[in-house]
Amino acid sequence: MTETVMIVTGSSRGIGAATAIRLAATGSTILLTYVANPERADDVVSAIEAGGGRAKAIRADVANEDDCLRTFAEADRIGRLTGLVNNAGVVDVAARLTDMSFARLRRIFDINVLGTILCSREAVRRMSTAHGGKGGAIVNVSSASAKIGSPAQYIDYAAAKGAIDTFTVGLAKEVAAEGVRVNAVRPGIIETEIHASGGDPDRATRVAAELPMRRAGRAEECAEAIAWLLSDAASYTTGAILDVSGGRSILP
């Protein structure tokens, strides 16, 4: 029987790492991508292997087309691609639009938007029945900021994630008859290191009291939602955007 493989981008930490570990239970080989921390990526691989799963880490910047193509070529070598999780993403320090440099904006959109679109293109080329594939599923990781806008904080990141929401719906319609389902999860305030990378490591704890559920979420809770959307249990679900935000997405 042909081995199946799932790709989880940006999976050396946070939601990506939790998702890679969760998906290993499906029996597929998990191909993890990372950019800057091979040790952390190796730790995720080790955790998967310790649980009886199969995984491989590959250094790849999703915003670089050559890296993207190399990642999918490696997946082809392993087996048949059945799932893609577009998780790789970045945020920057809180700022108003008037203080954002072009370099910052380019980085935010290259990684969060173009990286997702590039990886999805390669996945569809392999999964779509119109291209000789046998179907599959894509899950994009958006953000509750796409709905609330994140003014005076991360308005660029929010705009990028809004683009992901629109892309999810459009691609879902485009390939629905070709055996490929495309959905997204919209995490809210999750206890991960992304807050530190944005210069505010205590943000999850500080904001938690403002949320309807009065707590921050865990990466594993997002991973469960992603795993469901990839699974046959969600076989009639496409074009959906699932909020995993403790109610943050319904705040005014």
pLDDT, tens digit, for every residue of 199-237? Answer: 666 777 777 778 887 888 899 999 999 999 999 999 999
The rounded mean pLDDT for the chain is 93
**List 34, 154, 157, 236, catalytic entry:** 157
- Burial pattern 168-182, b for ≥16 Cβ within 10 A else e, equals bbebbeebeeeebbb
CATH of domain 4-250: 3.40.50.720
Confidence (pLDDT) at 215: 85
Mean pLDDT of 2-31: 96
pLDDT, tens digit, for every residue of 99-135? Answer: 999 999 999 999 999 999 999 999 999 999 999 999 9
Confidence (pLDDT) at 197: 59
Distance between CA atoms of residues 128 and 179, nearest Å: 6
Per the annotation, the verdict on 157 as an active-site residue is: yes
